[in-house]
A and B are shown apart, each in its own frame.
Chain A
Amino acid sequence: MVYEASILDNLNQFLMYTGFANVTIAHIIMILIGLVFIYLAITKDWEPMLLIPIGFGILIGNIPLFPGLNVGVYEQGSVLNIFYQGVQQGWYPPLIFLGIGAMTDFSALISNPKLMLIGAAAQFGIFGAYTVALALGFSPSEAGAIGIIGGADGPTAIFLSGRLAPDLMGAIAVSAYSYMALVPVIQPPIMKLLTTEKERLIKMKAPRAVSPTEKRLFPIVGFLLTAFIVPSGIPLLGMLFFGNLIKESGVTKRLANTASGPLVDVITILIGITVGCSTQADKFLQWSSVKIFILGAFSFVVATFAGVLFVKFFNLFLKEGNKINPLIGNAGVSAVPDAARVSNNVGLEFDKSNYLLMHAMGPNVAGVIGSAVAAGILLAFLA
């Protein structure tokens, strides 16, 4: 009898350690959100590289834990906490930018540099959301972190929110990546609403061939100019342009291959899983998260409006043969290359021979630079 009682005591004690004893409704909701992410990634093919790690990270982060086991992402010294340092200290995003730089071909932008201005105009989404977030009662630093969702750039959103509002980072990151996945849903109605039939049919000149020298000059000159204007954006801008230089230099193929392949894959896995883990129910399921999701959608909408309207405005000053199709204005929000693909698809809906993909890649990559610059500005003013 003594042994049986002892075994029962042990089993009872063990039961208290299990997730079943500690589960709450909030945990269940978060686990369902994680499962929805995984479902969308697998069945709808929406940003699977991001939604699968984040979705599974949500599952990991929301297993009900008995506190003190030193396994949770917020428990100092735990394995997950060590992985999370890359997000918290902000060194994953610059490494992702290194990979983006090593993957990106800036030829479309170099051949038609006026498209850079579209990338600047679309950043209005960030600051539009910033002003609304202030009106909703967020502090300026929180509003800045929320606004950066409009930059449609996950690493930038994580980098900035880690500095300005670490408590909101989980909600901001999930919101940014979710809306990036929803770009094909959010943008086309706005693009169609703002453009006329005639504007949608504008055929742009084929981009000229860009010499290797120009491609090599771009990361060097681009970095020096932007970094001198916004030094606080150095971690992102520096790595982005450095990545591009190792790609275009032609003599560091191995480095470029590593940066654009294995390195960026490793960091994507780590950033996705840890951001997912950081959405623990008690920290994530709050009224502020709902507001962040609403503001995130608003910032994407404003950014798309700003990009398309700016192209229409810009066209007023361009000669007939040089006009820009306003359907590429949406691509200024970054979200490479989905936003450019949306431009192309919407363009093809109205003219089967009007391929806008290469033209849209210009504002698309300019949006990456623009969002990094905007993040640097917010950091300088609010950190």
Chain B
Amino acid sequence: MKKFYSLILLLGVLVCASNVYAQNMSDMRLNEVLVTNTEGFEDDYGYRSGWIELFNTSYGTVDIAGCFLSTDPDNLTMYRIPKGDVLTKVQPRQHILFWADGVANRGTFHLGFTLDNAKELIFTAADGRTVIDRVVFPALDTNKSYGRKVDGVGSVSEIGAVYKSFRNSKLEAEAKADTSTEHGWIKMDNPTPSTNNATLDGESKSAMMAQSDPYGIFLTLTAMCVTFLALAILFLVFKQIGKFHIKKKSENAVKAVEGTKNSAKADTSGQVSAETYAAISMAIHMFMQENEAHDFEDTILTINKVSRTYSPWSSKIYTLRETPQLRK
């Protein structure tokens, strides 16, 4: 039985571990792609080439080292993102750019292929099989890109998620059927490498609240309702738990009383009666009194501190280094 529980525990740990992995990698999205670059963004060498932008949709850092980028569905491992480069750790809600210049020896972010004849981009996990995200992009004009309207949001990511997790077969079917539409992606006249595709509304929640609820009445009512709801649910649950325990306690008490009655009946049926116990107790009591036996001793117990406090642990001599002896 213990082995069985150990096996279940091990399986649980493995499932959790796989989920942790999924939470990291599955948060990455292909975000924007530009095929022909003649007058746009330059790489560190001063060259212009096509590029692919990835976006970390999560609120934690994701390391994409070991993952693959490809333009061929039959060869998902066209370019492996090298390990050992700290720059492959993508910060929360940040972008990372890969140059599709076909010269991989220029650095981590230079792919070993170009996008000249490509129609599709695939981002694959480190196992080389699990597709995290993919996009089929249309023919693009020079210096025009194809990207998500809002960073990390769009239908293609759903396909990626389904491929990754296989949790929702209906969603998978719908998403596969929907690959042609790819809603959420648009052709962009003004490419935005390494920056947000759409400038999101920068207004803080506080500023929005100041406009929508300047006197704070709605927030007050909402918050008080939620606070009451939370504690009212707790009240109802513990009222029931309390009732259950009181009922159980009274049932146990009834059982105990019945048990006592039964044992009393058993006693009267022939073995030892209560009077007998009383007589025995009285006899023992008198015997103890006659023999001056007593429960309480009148001896005084004094605990003195040991005067010799020496211990090898506190001895100074053991903390000193021995004097070296001269060899003659």
Q: Which residues of A contact B (CB under 8 A)?
A: 109-111, 113-114, 116-117, 119-121, 123-124, 126-128, 130-131, 134-135, 139-141, 143, 164, 208, 211, 213-214, 217-218, 221-222, 225-226, 229-230, 366, 369-370, 373-374, 377-378, 381-383
Closest-by-CB residue of B relative to A118 is B231
Interface segment, B23-31, B232-240, B263-271, B293-301?
A: B232-240
Q: How large is the interface on B (under 10, 10 to 19, 20 to 34, 35 or more residues)?
A: 20 to 34
24 cross-chain CB contacts under 8 A? A110-B238, A113-B235, A120-B228, A123-B223, A124-B224, A127-B220, A127-B224, A130-B216, A131-B215, A131-B217, A135-B215, A139-B207, A140-B216, A140-B219, A141-B204, A143-B216, A164-B206, A221-B234, A225-B233, A225-B237, A229-B226, A229-B229, A366-B231, A381-B223
**For the complex, what is the distance from the CA of A140 to the CA of B206, rounded to whole Å?**
5
Given known A-B contacts A131-B216, A134-B214, A230 and B241 have beta carbons under 8 A apart = no
Closest-by-CB residue of B relative to A122 is B227
CB distance from B198 to the nearest CB of A (A): 23
* B224: chain A residues within 8 A (beta carbon): 120, 123-124, 127
Q: Are B220 and A131 in contact (CB under 8 A)?
A: yes
Q: Are B219 and A230 in contact (CB under 8 A)?
A: no
**The 7 residue pairs across chains A and B that have the minimum distance between CB atoms:** A141-B206, A127-B220, A113-B238, A131-B216, A120-B231, A140-B209, A116-B231
Given known A-B contacts A214-B245, A377-B223, A226 and B216 have beta carbons under 8 A apart = no
Mask: chain B, 241-263; 1 = CB below 8 Å from A; 0 = not:
11001100100000000000000
Given known A-B contacts A110-B242, A113-B238, A134 and B215 have beta carbons under 8 A apart = yes
Extra 18 A-B pairs, beta carbons < 8 Å, given A134-B215, A370-B227, A378-B223: A110-B238, A111-B242, A113-B235, A121-B228, A123-B223, A127-B223, A128-B220, A141-B206, A143-B216, A213-B245, A214-B238, A214-B242, A221-B234, A369-B230, A373-B230, A374-B227, A377-B223, A381-B205
Given known A-B contacts A114-B235, A130-B216, A377-B223, A229 and B204 have beta carbons under 8 A apart = no
Given known A-B contacts A123-B224, A141-B206, A382-B209, A229 and B216 have beta carbons under 8 A apart = no
* B214: chain A residues within 8 A (beta carbon): 134
* B207: chain A residues within 8 A (beta carbon): 139-140
**For the complex, what is the distance from the CA of A111 to the CA of B239, rounded to whole Å?**
8
CB distance from B271 to the nearest CB of A (A): 35
* A140: chain B residues within 8 A (beta carbon): 206-207, 209-210, 213, 216, 219
CB distance from B293 to the nearest CB of A (A): 39
**For the complex, what is the distance from the CA of A373 to the CA of B216, rounded to whole Å?**
18
Closest-by-CB residue of A relative to B238 is A113
* A366: chain B residues within 8 A (beta carbon): 231
CB distance from A37 to the nearest CB of B (A): 31
* A121: chain B residues within 8 A (beta carbon): 228
Candidates B205, B226, B242; contact of A377 at CB < 8 Å:
B226
Closest-by-CB residue of A relative to B239 is A113
* A383: chain B residues within 8 A (beta carbon): 205
Candidates B215, B222, B234, B239; contact of A225 at CB < 8 Å:
B234
**For the complex, what is the distance from the CA of A214 to the CA of B242, rounded to whole Å?**
8
Q: Are B245 and A211 in contact (CB under 8 A)?
A: yes
**For the complex, what is the distance from the CA of A139 to the CA of B83, rounded to whole Å?**
47
CB distance from B307 to the nearest CB of A (A): 33
Candidates A111, A221, A230; contact of B226 at CB < 8 Å:
A230
Mask: chain B, 183-225; 1 = CB below 8 Å from A; 0 = not:
0000000000000000000001111011001111101101110
* A120: chain B residues within 8 A (beta carbon): 224, 227-228, 230-232
Closest-by-CB residue of B relative to A222 is B234
**For the complex, what is the distance from the CA of A139 to the CA of B249, rounded to whole Å?**
54
Closest-by-CB residue of A relative to B205 is A382
Closest-by-CB residue of A relative to B223 is A377
Q: Are A114 and B231 in contact (CB under 8 A)?
A: no
* B215: chain A residues within 8 A (beta carbon): 131, 134-135
* A222: chain B residues within 8 A (beta carbon): 234
Mask: chain B, 14-25; 1 = CB below 8 Å from A; 0 = not:
000000000000
Candidates A110, A111, A221, A229; contact of B230 at CB < 8 Å:
A229
Given known A-B contacts A135-B215, A214-B242, A373 and B226 have beta carbons under 8 A apart = yes
Q: Are B231 and A119 in contact (CB under 8 A)?
A: yes
CB distance from A124 to the nearest CB of B (A): 6
Q: Are B237 and A221 in contact (CB under 8 A)?
A: yes
Closest-by-CB residue of B relative to A114 is B235
CB distance from B244 to the nearest CB of A (A): 9
**For the complex, what is the distance from the CA of A164 to the CA of B205, rounded to whole Å?**
11
Most buried by B among A111, A123, A124, A127: A127
* A114: chain B residues within 8 A (beta carbon): 235, 239
Closest-by-CB residue of B relative to A109 is B238
* A143: chain B residues within 8 A (beta carbon): 216
* A208: chain B residues within 8 A (beta carbon): 242, 246
Given known A-B contacts A377-B227, A381-B209, A383-B205, A127 and B234 have beta carbons under 8 A apart = no
**For the complex, what is the distance from the CA of A130 to the CA of B205, rounded to whole Å?**
16
Most buried by A among B206, B224, B230: B230
Closest-by-CB residue of A relative to B213 is A140
Given known A-B contacts A134-B214, A140-B210, A377-B226, A369 and B219 have beta carbons under 8 A apart = no
* A131: chain B residues within 8 A (beta carbon): 215-217, 220
* A164: chain B residues within 8 A (beta carbon): 206
CB distance from A286 to the nearest CB of B (A): 20
Most buried by B among A130, A217, A382: A382
**For the complex, what is the distance from the CA of A257 to the CA of B215, rounded to whole Å?**
46
CB distance from B231 to the nearest CB of A (A): 4
**For the complex, what is the distance from the CA of A137 to the CA of B207, rounded to whole Å?**
13
* B230: chain A residues within 8 A (beta carbon): 120, 225-226, 229-230, 369-370, 373
Most buried by A among B213, B217, B224, B238: B238
Given known A-B contacts A116-B231, A226-B230, A229-B230, A134 and B216 have beta carbons under 8 A apart = yes
* B233: chain A residues within 8 A (beta carbon): 225, 229
Q: Are B223 and A117 in contact (CB under 8 A)?
A: no
B residues 28-77 in Cβ contact with A at 8 Å: none
* A128: chain B residues within 8 A (beta carbon): 220
Q: Are A117 and B242 in contact (CB under 8 A)?
A: no
Most buried by B among A143, A366, A369, A381: A381
